[in-house]
Amino acid sequence: MYDDTRYPISAAVLERHGEAWRMIASPGPFWSGAERVQMVAEARAAMHCDLCRRRKEALSPFAVQGSHDTVSDLPAALIDMIHRLRTDPARYTRSVFASVIAAGIPRERYIEAVSVVNASVIVDTMHASLGLPLPELPMPEPGLPTGQPTPDVVEEGAWVPITRVSDRNVSDTGLPGAPNIARSMGSVPAAVELFFTAFRGHYALRDIPLAVSQPQAEFIASRVSALNECFY
Amino acid sequence: MLLRASGQRENRDFNLNAVNEADSDSGVEHSDHLRALTEAAVGSRWEELTSIRAAAAAAMGEQAMVDALTVAAGFNGITRVADATGIPRDPTTQESTVSMRSETGIDDFDYAAKTARYEGRAAAGG
C-alpha cells in the first residue's frame, strides 16, 4: 500500500491503513473476513453503479428504483445501504437503516458493516485523491465470525445504542472526553477499533501532528461535513 | 463548530459562513486551496485534482497539500459514520452553537429535516 508514491504521507497514516486493511480481512464479530472484503468491493462498485448515478442526479434518491451493479452476494438490503452510504451520504436517512433492520439484519451487523465500509472510504479516498491506484483488496482470512461479549451501551437518541460513559467533563475543544462520534458504534467495540485505526492518523482535536494548522484542519473538516450534510 | 473553538483558542475570529460561501474570506490561511482540494476529493473529481494538487503544493508546500488531503480523507469517512448512526450532537455543542448553526445552515442537516426534504420529494414524485 502506497509503495509507488513520492508523496510525503504521514508515517502514522501508512502504518494504520495497512493495519486497517489487515483487520478488514479478518473475521469480525458478526461477519466473516470474506464478507467484510466483499463490503469493500461493493463500496468500490458503487462508484460505477448506474442506479447510484441516477439516484445522485435525482432530486430525491428515494424516487429512483432499480437494481444496483453489484459484485457480491451480500444481502440486497445491505448492498443498497453500502451503495447509498458510499455515493450519497448527504441524503442517507434513517429509512435506509430501517430497511436493513427490516430485512432481518441485526443492528450489530449493520454497525460492523458501517465501520468496514467507512474505514475503506478513508483508505480509498486517500489513494485516489493523491492520484494513486486503489490498493488491492486484502485476501480474506478464513474463519467464522467471532461473536463478542455483551457491550455496555445505552440509548441516547441515536438510531443505535451508543457506548455508556460516566465522565461528561468538557475540554477546551468544546467536546466531552468521549464525544458521541466515538461512542456511536459502541454496540460493536471491534467496529470502533477498526474505524479509528483507519481514522486516527488523519486528525487530532488539538496539536494536530500534520503540516496543516489546527484552524486549517478544522476548515477542511467543516467543509467535508457541509458537503456530506453531516448533522453531527 | 471546532473551527470556532480553534479560533477562540488562538484569539482569532474566523468567518464561519465562509465554509459554505466560496466568495467569503474565512480568515484561515490558504483556505481557497483547502476548499479546492477538499471539494475535489470528496466529490471524487480525481482528474481535476491533478492541477489542484499542483497549485496547492506551489502555494502551501507539498507536505501541507498532502496533509490537507489527509484530513479530508479522514473526514470523508467519519462524517459517514455519523450519518449512518444518527448520533445526536454532544450536549455542550448543541447548547453553545444555536445561533451559529442557524446562520450557517447547519440546522438543515438535522436528521428529521433531511428525511422530510429527501423522502418527502420522493413521495411527491420528485
pLDDT digits (tens, 9 = 90+) for B25-54: 778 999 999 999 999 999 999 999 999 999
Query: CB A173 to CB B2 under 8 A?
Result: yes
Contact present, A221 and A230 (Cβ < 8 Å): no
Sign of CA dihedral B100, B4, A8, B62: positive
Q: Looking at the predicted structure, is the pLDDT value of residue A168 above 60? A: yes
Q: Looking at the predicted structure, is the pLDDT value of residue A181 above 90? A: yes
Contact present, A148 and A109 (Cβ < 8 Å): no
| ipTM (interface pTM) | 0.95
Chain B: give the shortest CA distance to residue A194, in Å. 12
Closest CA to A32 of A122, A144, A135: A144
**3-class SS of residue B107:** helix
- pLDDT at position B25, please? 76
The per-residue pLDDT of chain A, averaged, comes to 95
| B94 close to A (CB below 8 A) | no
In the structure grid, which three cell numbers stand for residue A193, read together? 477499533
β-strand partners of A176: A170
Nearest-CB residue to B68 (from A122, A220, A231): A220
Q: Looking at the predicted structure, is the pLDDT value of residue A197 above 70? A: yes
Count Cα neighbours of A35 within 13 Å in the Cβ-side half-sphere.
Answer: 18
- pLDDT at position B103, please? 67
Could you give the CA distance from residue A146 to residue A168 in angstroms, rounded to a whole number?
A: 32
- For chains A and B, CB pairs below 8 A equal 282
- pLDDT at position B36, please? 97
Contact present, B68 and B38 (Cβ < 8 Å): yes
Query: Mean pLDDT, to the nearest integer, of A137-147?
Result: 98
- Contact residues, chain B, for A175 at CB < 8 Å: 2, 90, 92-93
- Contact residues, chain A, for B59 at CB < 8 Å: none
In the structure grid, which three cell numbers stand for residue A103, read together? 430485512
Query: Mean pLDDT, to the nearest integer, of A5-23?
Result: 96
Contact present, A216 and B34 (Cβ < 8 Å): yes
Query: CB A93 to CB B49 under 8 A?
Result: no
Which has more confidence, A208 or B105?
A208
Query: What pTM, to 2 d.p., does this model score?
Result: 0.93
Q: Looking at the predicted structure, is the pLDDT value of residue B126 above 60? A: no
